[in-house]
Each structure stands twice: as C-alpha cells, then as structure tokens.
Amino acid sequence: MSEPEISVVRAAQNQDLEATAQVIAATEGRVSVLDRKAARRIPESGPRHEEFREEFEQVGRIAVWEALGRFDESVTTDFLGFAYTTVETTLLNITRAERNQGADPDAAKTFLSMLGTAGNDPYLAEKLAQTVPPAGRRLSADRAHAARLAYQGAESLDVPVPGTTGEERWAPAVSTYGVPDDLITPDDVAREERRIKHAVVHGILDTMGDGQAHVLRATFGIEPVPFYGNANEVELAGDMGTTPKAVREAR
C-alpha cells in the first residue's frame, strides 16, 4: 500500500480508528518482511526459533504504534521510513540481546581487543580476556564467554539498519600503564609488554591438555614447572610417569 497521507497520520495520532486502520494496513506487508528477517537471525537449531517468529510479529506491530506516537512531521514527513526504521531497530536490539547472552559493551570491547593477540581465534580470545587486560578490565569466565557468543553472532547482527547510520562496531580497549599518558616511560612500556607476554603464554597453555601444557612448561621453564629444556626427555618422562616418546609427541 502507498504512503498514507500526512493528514491520515495526524488523524491516527489523534486516535481516529479509521485512520489508524489505514496506517496499519500500509505498514503490514513491510513489517511482516522485517519480522521474518529478524527471526532468521536466531539460529534455526535453537529451541525457540518458531516462538521468536510469532513474538516478532507482535513486536513489529507494537513498534509501529510506538512510531506513530513519536512521529514528528516537523522533522520528517516520511512516516513509513520512520516507522520501518523504528521496527528494524527494535527487532535488531532484541535479536542482539538474545545472541549476546548478556554480554555488556565493556566486555565486548575487551574481548575484541584480545582477538588480534589470539590470531583471531575467538576461543583463545575468550581465555586471554580473563588474564591479559590490566586489573580492573579483565573479564570473569562468564563475561568472557558471553562476549565470545556475542562476537560470533555480531557479523550478521551489526549490519547497519537501512535508513540509519548504523552503530559503531566494537573498538579495541585502550591499554593502560597505570599512569597518565604524558608520564609513560620506556620502562612502563617494557613492563607492560612483559606482563602481556606472560599472560598470553599462560592463557595459551591453559587452553591445552594437562600433559601437553606440562611438557611445554618444562621445555621452557615456565612456572610452576622447573626447566628441563629439550635434552632431558627421559628425566621429564620419568617425572611425569610417561615415556620419552609421549613427551616428544606432546612437545
């Protein structure tokens, strides 16, 4: 249906039932498309996929009502464009919240800042986000997990809504040296680099199996395992209760 006359929109805003029916009819087709699009953002394997399709139909209609109440013709005379943007934004926020599993923006930024360090491996980034950032910005296991889930669904969810400028994607968190930027010294930088390397190494080791991690710790003398190097496979194997061959394979 074509764009309703601005006089019809005004009448609907004044609770004229016939005008309201015209506005709803004009938006129904496009809103239905947006509802189905939003439902497809929820994994089809999820237990609530069909429920979301029904729920989004109601959400879309309610969003049109909300758009009608907030529409200001002194700002724009394109009611349909305004209404569709309202519907899309509302549905996008709902799907993002569902996929984000409670990840907050600060956790998302911290997680993303770890992706480069983790070689774009989201599972390793989840681990590093719990150890690498400075104290106060490290994530708990639950927050890091939620941030990874959010990131893995972000590619489709963060596409800008038509008619809007979109939203800024997560930006890497800025590192801190514990002092004002203008007071940072080379020693501060070196100390921070050592801290990050230490946290990354331990974070990576923590993602491995116990045996492999123990062998690597022993090879390089990483706490709490003493240094064995590459030449003491028999001794290391004896201490671990395994064979030299197993030590070599693990390394």
32-72 residue pLDDT tens = 888 888 777 665 444 455 667 778 888 888 888 888 888 98
- What is the model's pTM? 0.41
Q: What is d(CA 209, CA 251) in angstroms, rounded to the nearest whole number? A: 12
User: 181-250 — its CATH code?
Assistant: 1.10.10
**What is the band of 2 on the pLDDT scale with cuts at 50, 70, 90?**
low
Domain layout of the chain by residue ranges? 6-100, 102-177, 181-250
Q: What is the pLDDT of residues 208-221, one digit of tens each?
A: 888 888 999 998 88
pLDDT top residue among 63 and 160: 63
Which residue, 246, 229, 227, is CA-closest to 237?
A: 246
Q: What is the pLDDT of residues 62-107, one digit of tens each?
A: 888 888 888 988 888 888 888 888 888 888 777 766 655 556 778 8
Q: What is d(CA 122, CA 117) in angstroms, rounded to the nearest whole number? A: 10
Q: Say what percent of the chain tops pLDDT 90.
A: 2
Domain 6-100 belongs in CATH node 3.60.21? no
